[in-house]
Amino acid sequence: MPENANTTPEANQPGPLIIGISSRALFDLDASHRVFEKEGLARYMAYQREHENEILGKGVAFHLAEKLLGLNDDGMDHPGVEVVLMSRNSADSGLRIFNSIEHYGLDIQRAVFTNGASPADYIEPSGAQLFLSANDDDVRRVLMAGYAAATILPSAIRENRSSQLRLAFDGDAVIFSDEAERIYKEHGLEAFSDSEKRAAMNPLAAGPFKPVLEGIQRIQSAYPMEENPIRTALITARSAPAHKRVIMTLRAWGIRVDEAMFLGGREKAPYLRSFGADIFFDDQTVHCSLASREVATGHVPHGVANEPSSDVSEGKE
């Protein structure tokens, strides 16, 4: 055994839930981005230096990050949350971002500045289980590498003033694999329903967000169920009889969701508004577009609905 091996019980404890967030998801960088698009990188870097003492406005994912980090301050014995800034800025132009982080009192200590390169290459060494970014190409690269990721969509920033963190997830191609969605695409709704009914007792394979749910549940388990600072919801267009396989899969995984809504194809946005989601993750652009009018939304460009030949944008999920 190596001399420096840590054999204490703490060494076997799971680490914190680590979330990588890009600067454009965390802060409102629209004006800066327009400078980059119109005048190029050199002018953008100069612009950021010129304005580095001007505090950036809050971005779509700001309140999510704030609530996640707030879980570390309650004195409870849980793994905690770490947010890592992952930015295409350089360290020099990124000074404005860190000034803004300090202004708002966000406990973000680690950062990766790539000076125009994709931060996707640094997801594994950062230990992040989830990556949130406004750059769809970076998100797709992270998903292809086997990690959860979502493209944060432009949205009116509506702060959920409840202190409780409320997270909502779609099912197929997000929490679960897209295996059932593929049957729907290739053979239609009736074949999908029949297949799911026959396979009701066979757990679905994991989707990219299963590890995220597991990390959330490790934090939730430190609190009484009735007084929990985190509440989760599964909001899916599935309906009976396709609901049973979802329930049995979550049971087999040992994962609970606090609320589950099987909507049978009804629009999800009103339910998200009633749930008060701080963020919603879905793989289909049509649902994300509608949801983003109500709540912060992350598009998960994963699975059959996001393949070039896909025509299921108005489909089951």
What are the pLDDT digits (tens) for 264-308? Answer: 889 999 999 999 999 999 999 999 999 999 999 999 999 999 988
Domain boundary among 83, 116, 151: 151
Query: Residue 280: which domain range?
Result: 165-306
pLDDT score recorded for residue 13 = 57
For residues 120 and 215, state if they share a domain: no
Classify residue 31: in a domain, yes or no. Answer: yes
Catalytic residues: 170
The domain tally of the chain equals: 2
For residues 230 and 298, state if they share a domain: yes
For residues 172 and 127, state if they share a domain: no
For residues 186 and 238, state if they share a domain: yes
Cβ atoms of 233 and 169 closer than 8 Å: yes
Classify residue 209: in a domain, yes or no. Answer: yes
For residues 106 and 196, state if they share a domain: no
Q: What is the CA radius of gyration of the chain?
A: 20
Domain boundary among 91, 122, 151: 151
Classify residue 188: in a domain, yes or no. Answer: yes
Q: What percent of the chain has pLDDT over 90?
A: 68
Of 195 and 1, the one with more pLDDT: 195
User: Residue 174: what are its φ and ψ, rounded to 5°?
Assistant: -120, -75
Classify residue 172: in a domain, yes or no. Answer: yes
pLDDT score recorded for residue 251 = 96
Q: Which of the listed ranges 7-11, 156-160, 263-267 does the model predict with the highest average pLDDT?
A: 263-267
Cβ atoms of 142 and 123 closer than 8 Å: yes
For residues 269 and 174, state if they share a domain: yes
Cβ atoms of 89 and 135 closer than 8 Å: no
Q: Report pTM.
A: 0.90
For residues 130 and 170, state if they share a domain: no
For residues 137 and 258, state if they share a domain: no
For residues 182 and 222, state if they share a domain: yes
Angle at CA of residue 245, ends 276 and 184, nearest 5°: 90
Domain boundary among 151, 180, 213: 151
For residues 27 and 68, state if they share a domain: yes
Q: What confidence tier does 163 reach under pLDDT thresholds 50, 70, 90?
A: confident
CA 69/CA 198 separation, integer angstroms? 43
Classify residue 190: in a domain, yes or no. Answer: yes
What are the pLDDT digits (tens) for 97-144? Answer: 999 999 999 999 999 999 889 999 999 999 999 999 999 999 999 999
**Which among 67, 59, 96, 100 has a CA at the least distance from the CA of 83?**
67
Task: Determine the average pLDDT of the residues in 10-14.
Answer: 53
What are the pLDDT digits (tens) for 21-51? Answer: 999 999 999 888 898 889 988 888 888 899 9
For residues 17 and 141, state if they share a domain: yes
Least confident piece of the model among 3-12, 160-169, 183-192: 3-12
**CATH code, domain with 140:** 3.40.50.1000
